[in-house]
Structure formats: C-alpha cells, structure tokens
C-alpha cells in the first residue's frame, strides 16, 4: 500500500493552511478530497479557486472520486472477510457475521448492549480465519470512556471455555489499540492516527482488521445543539463516516460503530427509537442493527438495513463470559 501523505505534501498547502484545516477537522487528505471548495476557502482563508486546486490535488493523492472497473471491484470484494459474533443466532442473521470493507452500525438505548457487542468483536476479530475471526488487531475510538480491559479478559476466558483452548487474555489486550476521543474534532482526527497505525501494522502478523467507534454520535450530539447547527453537524458526520469507510477499504477492515437513539419521545418526530444522525448515518452505514433489551440478560437484535440480507431478528444474551445464544 502507498505511503501516507500529509496535508503539507499537497501543492499549495503551506504549514499555516495545513494547521487551519487540521483544526477544523480536515486532518487528512481523504477528508479534504471529499470537501467542498467553499468550505475549504472559508476555513483556510484562501480563495475558492485555490481551494479547488488543493481539493483536486487531494483527490488525486487520495485516489477518491475516480472509477474502478467492475473486475477491480470484484477483486477487492473477493477479499471481504466475515467476523463472527460467536453466537449462532447473530451469525445467521448477518450471513456469518459483520463484513470487512463495510460499516456496521449498532443502535439502541442505553444498556441495550452496544458496548458489549463491541468488546466481544474486539476479541473475536483476533481469532484465526478458521475460527471465524479476522486474524487481526483492533482499533477502538472510545468516545464515552467505556472501554474496559477487564471485560476483554472475562470474554477471553469465556472464549477459552467455549473453544476448549487456553487463550491468553494478555495477548488479546495487546492487540487492542484504544484511543479516547475528547470531542468530535478529535474523534475525526483519530481516524487519521488510526491510518498511521494501520500502515505500521499492515505487514505484521496482526494487521488492523477491525475499527470500532463507540459511540459514533455522542460527541456530535452533545456539541451541536439547536437547529441552526444541524447542517454543520451532519456535514462533519458525513465526512467522518466516509473516512471510516475509506479506512475499511484501504485496510480490508470491518468498521463497527455504535449510535444512541433519541431518548425523549418527541411529539413532533413521533418514533422514540430513532437513531441519532438521521439520513447521513443511515445512508452511509452498510448494515444497521437495532438492539433492544429483553428479559434479564436477553437482547434482541434486528437487522433493519442491509444491501443483500433479509430483515430479521436474533436473540442473544449478554453474560459475564461474553455474548451467548
Ligand atoms: P450506552 O452506551 O449507555 O448507550 O449503552 P450500551 O448499549 O453500550 O450498553 P452496554 O453494552 O454497556 O450494556 C450494558 C449492559 O450489559 C449492562 O446493563 C448489563 O446488563 C450488561 N453487562 C455489562 N457487563 C456485564 C457483565 O460483566 N456481566 C453480565 N452478565 N452483564 C454485563
Ligand atoms: Mg455503550
């Protein structure tokens, strides 16, 4: 894979411009490539035609916006891997698990199990392909400070029992790279950092094959309040999602994001279980799963959106040892 370039490597981008763009959340060439000239012009305080030239250079460097021939797409699709949940019901629902080169979104109320699913997948992703893993490392962008190494240890122990093999939790923990995101801009920048890490690990025996953003929307929701800021928020979320997608394509990694639902039933908007982020998140995520609580440890996952699988539900349990049927 190509050496990653920085913004400063683009013709027309000096250190000052690069700095302004980074501060505004356009930290990568990929982000710049999918932005608009008016946006970039106002952020960097440059003319629109200069901005357009920079964007064009970014598109060239990032190789986005170009066409792939059908056979190239097929070649890339051949590499798509599946990451098992480790529960039959869940795997059946998803045709074997979550796909690489795709964004899978889990949305649901607090306590519905989104973070637990994320932890379990961070474990499963490290398993060999024969055991329905991806034989890879994991990156977690933790925005709510809910990553718990203790839970990983418990789940690895549960896995050892289930598989009848002695797995070492320490090794699993070593292959999970966690970064806390302090705000939405930081969250966006962390995808860049993730690319650097993925580049470093790409020829190792544990390349990055799963990236988790838990939660995708919490910072955005907290920071952009009020109607006037909605367009801004959606634009940033859109950019963020596309960068994540880019990550998935570049590194053949699965992308798992979590999303809250609007907690207060709003008379004007009816459905109290609408995921945050609206159309932007909905249209960019390849697969959407709605999680809800049932009795005790039981949870119900509903596949609500998928390009190639029928809608349906799976029942699973969240236990101390991890997800179970
Ligand atoms: P928010 O992030 O608040 O929106 O919720 P979430 O959907 O991420 O929920 P999360 O995955 O954190 O689920 C929390 C629930 O998982 C708890 O209420 C417990 O029911 C269950 N859980 C978490 N840890 C354990 C554990 O060690 N053992 C068992 N049995 N259940 C656990
Ligand atoms: Mg959570």
Residues 282-312: tens digit of each pLDDT: 778 889 999 999 999 999 999 998 888 888 9
Report whether residue 321 contacts ligand 1, using a CB cutoff of 6 Å: no
Q: What mean pLDDT comes out for the span 132-142?
A: 98
Class of domain 7-62: mainly alpha
Instruction: Give me ligand 2 centre to Cα 255, in Å.
Output: 16
**DSSP 8-state class, residue 100:** B
Q: Comparing 172-181, 264-273, 289-298, which segment has the lowest mean pLDDT?
A: 264-273
Report whether residue 113 contacts ligand 1, using a CB cutoff of 6 Å: yes
Instruction: Give me ligand 1 centre to Cα 111, in Å.
Output: 5
In order of 51, 65, 78, 112, 265, the CA distances from 10 in angstroms are 12, 17, 33, 44, 47
Atom of ligand 1 lying closest to residue 291 CA: 7
Residues constituting the chain = 325
pLDDT of residue 64: 60
pLDDT of residue 277: 74
Q: Is the pLDDT of residue 2 over 50?
A: no
Asked whether the domain spanning 77-324 has the same topology as the one spanning 7-62, the reply is no
CA 317 to chain centroid:
23
Most informative mutation of 105, 106, 113 for ligand 1 (most atoms within 8 A of CB): 113
User: In this structure, are residues 118 and 141 in contact, taking their beta carbons and an 8 Å threshold?
Assistant: no
Task: Give the model's confidence band at 73: pLDDT under 50 very low, under 70 low, under 90 confident, else very high.
Answer: confident
Q: What ranges do the domains of the chain cover?
A: 7-62, 77-324
The two structure tokens encoding residue 237: 């979320």
Report whether residue 153 contacts ligand 1, using a CB cutoff of 6 Å: no
Q: For the chain, what is the total number of helices (H) and then of strands (E)?
A: 13, 11
pLDDT of residue 4: 60
**DSSP string for 259-325:** E-B--S--TTT--TTPBTTHHHHHHH-SEEEEEEE-STTEEEEEEEE-SSS--EEEEEEEETTEEE-
Report whether residue 47 contacts ligand 1, using a CB cutoff of 6 Å: no
Class of domain 77-324: alpha beta
* Cα–Cα distance measured from residue 69 to residue 266, given in angstroms and rounded to the nearest whole number: 46
Instruction: Give me ligand 1 centre to Cα 31, in Å.
Output: 33
Nearest alpha carbon to residue 219 among 229, 233, 231, 209? 233
Burial of 217 (0-12, 13-18, 19+ CB in 10 A): buried
Q: Is the pLDDT of residue 265 over 60?
A: no
Report whether residue 319 contacts ligand 1, using a CB cutoff of 6 Å: yes
Task: Give the model's confidence band at 267: pLDDT under 50 very low, under 70 low, under 90 confident, else very high.
Answer: very low
pLDDT of residue 76: 83
Name residues whose C-beta falls within 8 Å of residue 2's C-beta, 6 or more positions apart in sequence: none
3-class DSSP assignment, residue 66: coil
Instruction: Give me ligand 1 centre to Cα 139, in Å.
Output: 20
């Amino acid at each position: 894979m190509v050496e990653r370039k920085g913004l400063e490597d683009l013709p027309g981008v000096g250190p000052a411009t690069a700095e302004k763009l980074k501060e505004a959340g356009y930290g990568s060439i990929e982000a710049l490539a999918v932005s608009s000239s008016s946006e970039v012009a106002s952020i960097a305080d440059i003319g629109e035609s200069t901005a357009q030239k920079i964007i064009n250079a970014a598109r060239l460097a990032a190789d986005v916006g170009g066409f792939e021939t059908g056979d190239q797409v097929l070649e890339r699709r051949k590499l798509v891997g599946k990451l098992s949940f480790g529960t039959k019901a869940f795997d059946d629902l998803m045709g074997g698990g979550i796909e690489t080169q795709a964004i899978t979104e889990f949305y649901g109320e607090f306590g519905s199990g989104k973070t637990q699913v994320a932890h379990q997948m961070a474990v499963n992703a490290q398993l060999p392909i024969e055991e329905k893993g991806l034989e890879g490392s994991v990156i977690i962008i933790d925005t709510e400070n809910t990553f718990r190494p203790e839970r990983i240890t418990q789940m690895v122990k549960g896995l050892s029992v289930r598989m009848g093999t002695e797995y070492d939790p320490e090794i699993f923990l070593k292959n999970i790279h966690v970064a806390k995101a302090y705000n939405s801009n930081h969250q966006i920048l962390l995808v860049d950092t993730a690319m650097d890490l993925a580049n470093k690990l790409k020829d190792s025996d544990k390349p990055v094959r799963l990236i988790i953003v838990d939660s995708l929307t919490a910072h955005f929701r907290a920071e952009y309040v009020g109607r006037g800021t909605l367009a801004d928020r959606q634009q940033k979320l859109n950019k963020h999602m596309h960068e994540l997608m880019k990550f998935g394509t570049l590194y053949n990694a699965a992308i798992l994001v979590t999303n809250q639902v609007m907690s207060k039933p709003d008379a004007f908007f009816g459905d109290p279980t609408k995921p945050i982020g609206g159309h932007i998140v909905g249209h960019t995520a390849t697969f959407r799963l709605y999680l809800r609580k049932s009795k005790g440890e039981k949870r119900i996952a509903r596949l609500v959106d998928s390009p190639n699988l029928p809608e349906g539900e799976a029942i699973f349990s969240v236990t101390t040892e991890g997800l179970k049927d």
